Amino acid sequence: MIRALAVLASTFCGDERSCERERIAGVEALIARPRRGMGPVVVYANAMTPLGVEQPAVGRFLAGLAGAGFVGIAPELPNVRRGEVTPETIDALVRVARAAGPSIALVGASTGAGLAILAAGDPRLAHRVTAVAAIAPFASLRNVIRLATTGHYGERPYKTAPLLACAAARSLAATAPDDPAVRTLLANRDPRCFDELYAALEPDTRVLVEELSPLRRIGDVSATVELASSPADPFFPVEEVDALAAAGRDVRLTVTPALVHVVPRLRLGLASVVALLDRTLERAAESEPMPVFRPSVAR
């Protein structure tokens, strides 16, 4: 638990200046290494934020990992700053993780949590993943689109942060730019019309929406998956993590009010968040301690 506490403490009040910008598999990334220069690799998939991996908390988290003996890597995944989830986003994360070492752990927050699950279940990477921690992930992109456009989750109203509508619209528009039914679906605000409008999407579009849903991929993840969510998350209802937990092979679910979306707070249940991170780092520590990638300095 001490190691996990140290990493969380660094995330809130550490110093990110030990991180370097490098390029891995053609993707710019922020990297922090332990003093001895090598260690088990943890790849972090970021949440939607205009600063991307330049968000200070990301660098502090990586620095905390490095202080605990890990190589921390946060790739600047295509358009995640804007909240987009596309096949190119997943491909970039898989390529970085494959280049980072023979075995890696994946950690993600919010949008990045869903990406971490999708990457961990990708057949190109699944056999290398030692652990997954997904904080406030979404499960079904279709559900997210319904929620973002109509303000309803299933049959009930659910108030979400305004950013969700922007992210869902951008993801669907970028994934299927030539489908004329996309604009009509995104313009709809009536939950009673959603299913009919969704069915009007081209078959390839609907297939892509399913492929970009962690719910479809989590059953292919062989590593233990740690899921965490607030019981009243402002982006994704707790039913999303419940669905993921039910669909996965080896999943541990933590629901706690100590999370404000992806940010731990000093509240009842914080110990469960620390324990989740500790279990993830323990599994990661059992992996090969030498990263095999040879990054080039990002220009």
Architecture of domain 2-139+213-289: 3-Layer(aba) Sandwich (3.40)
Top-ranked range on mean pLDDT: pick from 32-41, 223-232, 279-288: 223-232
pLDDT of 38 reads 86
pTM: 0.93
Of 15 and 90, the structure prediction assigns the larger pLDDT to 90
CB under 8 Å to 135, separation ≥6 — which residues?
A: 107, 108, 109, 110, 113, 228, 229, 259, 262
Poorest-confidence range of 16-20, 57-61, 251-255? 16-20
Contact between 44 and 108 (Cβ < 8 Å): yes
Tens digit of each residue's pLDDT (9 = 90 or more) over 16-36:
778 999 999 999 999 999 988
Percent of the chain past pLDDT 70, that is, above it, reads: 96
pLDDT of residue 296 exceeding 60, the answer is no
Tens digit of each residue's pLDDT (9 = 90 or more) over 96-145:
999 998 999 999 999 999 999 999 999 999 999 999 999 999 999 999 99
Q: DSSP strand E in 136-286: where?
A: 152-153, 156-157, 224-229, 251-255, 259-260, 263-264
Tens digit of each residue's pLDDT (9 = 90 or more) over 157-195:
998 888 888 888 888 888 888 999 999 999 999 999 999
Domain ranges for the chain = 2-139+213-289, 141-209
Q: How far is residue 163's CA from residue 52's CA, in Å, rounded to a whole number?
A: 15
pLDDT of residue 299 exceeding 70, the answer is no
Average pLDDT, integer, range 205-234: 96
Contact between 231 and 241 (Cβ < 8 Å): no
* Cβ count within 10 A of residue 234: 15
Element (H, E) at 290: none
pLDDT of 288 reads 61
Top-ranked range on mean pLDDT: pick from 76-80, 247-251, 285-289: 247-251
The per-residue pLDDT of the chain, averaged, comes to 91
pLDDT of 298 reads 41
Of 294 and 209, the structure prediction assigns the larger pLDDT to 209
